Amino acid sequence: MKKILVTGGAGFIGSHLVDRLIKQGHKVVVIDNLSTGRKENLNPKAKFYKLDICLPKISEIFKKEKPQIVFHFAARIEARISVKDPLGDAKINILGSLNILENCRVFKVKKIVFASSGGEIYGDAKVIPTPEEYHSNPISPYGVAKLAVEKYLYSYLKLYNLPFLSLRLGNVYGPRQNPDGEAGIIAIFIKKMLSKKPVIIHGSGNQTKDYIFIEDAIDATVNLFKKSKTGIYNIATEKESSVLDIFKSLGNIIKESVKKKHIPMPSCGFKRGYLSIQKIKKEIGWQPKYDLDRGLKETVEWFRMTNKK
């Protein structure tokens, strides 16, 4: 059993991680400012602090709780908003992360696990599926911030001997994903379809991404952690699906015929992207269990049950 601090532990991915860590017997502390996270996502067995990661008061929690491991999952997650407000994005995603890193150093945390972005960090990659060693060239300030934090992690490893694990996640979807933001088209599409409202599609809809179900993403995360791995790993499916594929599949599952409205692609958009998972397969034998159809069905069912409450 370890004492683990999870930033963003009331959010979509973070709350699923907290559930799994507690199920495995760890003692978990959560920091979340609830700007996008939700109280109902919080595991009652976790100790919760409502606090922004940018604030100096973070050090009081580190001092009091003495975490051995930190999972840093708190972030502003929307790439398009980062284009409109790069300073705000950098404040949270770079300076907030540095605040966490500094406290890890000062309070001698044994390891930090960082939620990076395979969906944004590679940019408009020329190598598909994209491996971890590909020269990253992110387009959005959000992707730039994630890459910057990875460079800081490497720096802290070399300067202060703080081991790190960086998870370059594909486009994670599933229960608890917020359907009201600009990120996460699967949750957004499901909410629109269930309420019989038109779905907005950027560009032609032929652009592709690598969509991974939340249970698979958490399995990969905890298995890398249990195996004491360090460094950078893609966590994805090594399969690409277009926005139109998602729209059609969800329509078949929900059995609602809704209109789609095409609007221009955002400036940070790119045509094609999916990730190589050969490294994680080779090193720990992990591969996803959910195909897209199964994952979408479970996600739709969760949204349906939630709407009934």
Question: What CA–CA distance (Å, rounded) separates 176 from 13?
Answer: 8
CATH 3.40.50.720 matches 3-171+211-235 = yes
Q: What is the CATH number of domain 175-210+239-274+290-308?
A: 3.90.25.10
DSSP assignment of 170-213: -EEE-TT--SSSSS-HHHHHHHHHHTT-PEEEETTS--EE-EEE
Residue 215 C-beta-side C-alpha neighbours within 13 Å: 11
pLDDT for residue 269: 87
Concerning whether 142 is annotated as a catalytic residue, the answer is: yes
pLDDT for residue 206: 96
Helices (H), 6-75: 12-23, 58-65
Structure tokens at 60: 């009081």
Q: Which residues in the chain are classed under CATH 3.40.50.720?
A: 3-171+211-235
pLDDT for residue 309: 60
Confidence of residue 204 (pLDDT cuts 50, 70, 90): very high
| pLDDT one-digit tens code per residue, 150-201 | 999 999 999 999 999 999 999 999 999 999 877 799 999 999 999 999 999 9
Q: Which residues in the chain are classed under CATH 3.90.25.10?
A: 175-210+239-274+290-308
For residue 110, pLDDT over 70 is answered with yes
Residue-averaged pLDDT of the chain: 96
pLDDT for residue 256: 80
pLDDT for residue 183: 76
Provide mean pLDDT across the span 47-54: 98
Phi then psi for 84, rounded to 5 degrees?
-75, -30
Structure tokens at 33: 């400012």
Q: What is the CA radius of gyration of the chain?
A: 19
Q: Which one of 122, 142, 156, 274 is the catalytic residue?
A: 142
